A and B are shown apart, each in its own frame.
Chain A
Amino acid sequence: MTTSEVMAYISDVTQGNLDRKCYLERLMVRMREQNTKMELFSKLHEKPQGKSEGALAGLPISVKDNICVKGFPTRAGSKILREYHPPFDATVVSRIRDAGGAFVGTTNMDEFGFGTFSTNCAYGLPKNPFDTNRSCGGSSGGAAGATAILKNHIAIAESTGGSISCPAAFCGVVGFTPTYGRVSRFGLIDYANSLDKIGVMTRSVEDLRIILPIISGRDPNDMTSQVQPPLDSTEKEIRKIGIPKELIGNITDKKILETFWQAIDKMRQEGVDAEEVSIPTLEYSIPAYYILACAEASTNLAKFCGMRYGLEGQHFDSMYNNFFTEVRSSAFGQEAKRRIMLGTFARMAGYRDQYYMKALRIRRKMIEEFERAFKGIALLASPTMPLLPPRFDEIEDMSPATVYALDFLTVPPNLAGLPHISMPMGYANDLPMGIHLIAPHWEEGRLLSAGRIWERKMEYRFPMDLEGFS
């Protein structure tokens, strides 16, 4: 086993070789300077603490802006939560605090997770550290960018339809999304309950072995976490991976395809066989996902009405419908309005069977097809995204339907609740590309084993280390 820089940092703190308070103080100065132009954080902590002992002793930990941190602005990238300071910690945050991690701030994201490029943020536009004219990816764009510039750090992120994998690929870091239910969602501001998963971003697969046991496990506050078997991260033999032809066949970027096949050859050199497989229902994953996600979002966001949470309405003389409507209309961004309305439409009498119920049936069929595909195959593989990180001016010219369609590689495992990982697979024009691996439910260990194999063949590049002072 190799020792990662994060492991070395934790060891230095616990053994007293590094003064964590002094280190964190200097780091925050650099982060504040950097954040004025990079806008990766929606808010930085004034004085991170952490502990000098524990599995995460003093390690800087960032948290996506939709995961509640007690007393700290947690706004899910939305103006409607502008004044929200949660009165409690999310379970994942409590576990990190207990393990000694130092919370350094919340990372920028698309409003409620609604986006592929982190361009729908109310608290800044996160810039890709590889090229600041380009997107970090979304929706956990700030988390990915922060991981790319911070050596001793782990980001807590969240994925509904690819919000960890996409930005991890665009920013050249490791993005890990566990099985649905593996990590408690208590304290997560919902986008779509049946799809939301808290995960992490790191600079190496070894760092996943540190953080996953801490954040995983049953939580009485989240019923969906209660059915999980224990996390097994012991070494697994990876003999064969499958490449779904429905995914690979829709990629047109030649450089991404070429790099992917080179990656498969490198895996073969390590004794991992690869073969093409077919999962026909993948063709329907984009409409099925967006219908379900928007339907759930439209009900989840009903609670944001100018009372109880965040931004408050001013005109108490208004009738309640007008009061709620006024606040929602002024505070939700355009993409939030679009998805709320699409979801409301998909649930309306007359359309419910055609859209919502059909999408739920497609999900069932896709899960069954995935189960069949995994017989005799350890993992499925594809590139993570079908394009390099786009420039902001290119994104402005894309219609919503065009942007949704770009998620066809990351949506399937999210829709089926399968664990998956994105790792840097190569660089084109000095921009990173990701390889995406998918495992059966609860088989996170296979991803860790395959990741270790992959990192023997691949040297990652990071655009900067803010910790240059140490």
Chain B
Amino acid sequence: MEIGYDVIEKVARLSRLRLTPEEEKQLLADFQEILTAFSLIDEAEAECDPAFHAIEIENLRRDDEPSIDIPPDEILERMRTLQRYIRGPRMQ
């Protein structure tokens, strides 16, 4: 399958990854080789429903009761905080 740098750049952007020129070159070569190998599935006849899981899954819910699984203080101790607020980057 033919893949160009434009596709690699777009996929990297969507993946929230910044690539060096060497990484871009390597990933372009890897993508071409891997997608050529993956093209084998084009010939597979599989006109059935997709299997999102290997076993049948039932939607089971826990009781809707309020509880604290992990004390918030214990979680905050493991994070960088400022005046007990979680620090994050700018939104705008």
B-binding residues in A (CB < 8 A): 84-85, 87-88, 179-181, 194-195, 220, 223-224, 226-227, 281, 283-284, 286-288, 290-291, 298, 302, 305, 307-308, 312-313, 315-326, 328-329, 332, 334, 337-338, 340-342, 344-345, 348, 354-355, 357-365, 367-368, 399-401, 404-405, 415-418, 441
A360–B51 contact, CB under 8 A? yes
- Contact A365:B48 (CB < 8 A) given known A180-B54, A223-B60, A355-B38: yes
Contacts of A180 in B (CB 8 A): 53-55
Q: Which interface class (under 10, 10 to 19, 20 to 34, 35 or more) fits B? A: 35 or more
Contacts of B80 in A (CB 8 A): 312
Q: Which of B11, B40, B53 sits near A194, CB closer than 8 Å?
A: B53
Contact with A along B50-92 (1 / 0, CB 8 A): 1111111111101000000110001100111000001111111
A227 CA / B58 CA spacing, docked (Å)? 7
Measured between C-beta atoms, what is the minimum distance from A304 to chain B in Å? 10
- Contact A194:B90 (CB < 8 A) given known A345-B11, A365-B48: no
- Contact A320:B91 (CB < 8 A) given known A88-B69, A341-B12: yes
Measured between C-beta atoms, what is the minimum distance from B7 to chain A in Å? 7
A290 CA / B40 CA spacing, docked (Å)? 12
Measured between C-beta atoms, what is the minimum distance from A450 to chain B in Å? 21
Contacts of B26 in A (CB 8 A): 334
B53–A358 contact, CB under 8 A? no
Contacts of A326 in B (CB 8 A): 18
Enumerate B12-44 residues with CB–CB distance to A below 8 Å.
Answer: 12, 14-19, 23, 26-27, 30-31, 33-34, 36-42, 44
Measured between C-beta atoms, what is the minimum distance from A306 to chain B in Å? 8
A-binding residues in B (CB < 8 A): 7-8, 11-12, 14-19, 23, 26-27, 30-31, 33-34, 36-42, 44, 46-60, 62, 69-70, 74-75, 78-80, 86-92
A405 CA / B36 CA spacing, docked (Å)? 13
A362–B30 contact, CB under 8 A? no
Closest A residue by C-beta to B38: A287
- Contact A329:B18 (CB < 8 A) given known A87-B78, A307-B88: yes
Q: Which of B27, B51, B55, B90 sits near A227, CB closer than 8 Å?
A: B55
B90–A340 contact, CB under 8 A? no
Contacts of A312 in B (CB 8 A): 79-80
Q: Which of A316, A325, A354 sits near B17, CB closer than 8 Å?
A: A325
Closest 9 CB pairs of A and B: A417-B54, A360-B50, A323-B89, A361-B46, A364-B51, A287-B38, A329-B18, A363-B51, A320-B89
Contacts of B40 in A (CB 8 A): 283-284, 286-287
B37–A287 contact, CB under 8 A? yes
Contacts of B56 in A (CB 8 A): 227
Contacts of A348 in B (CB 8 A): 11, 14
A340–B46 contact, CB under 8 A? no
Add 6 more A-B contacts to A84-B78, A287-B39, A404-B34 (CB < 8 A).
Answer: A223-B57, A307-B87, A307-B88, A317-B89, A323-B88, A344-B15
B23–A337 contact, CB under 8 A? yes
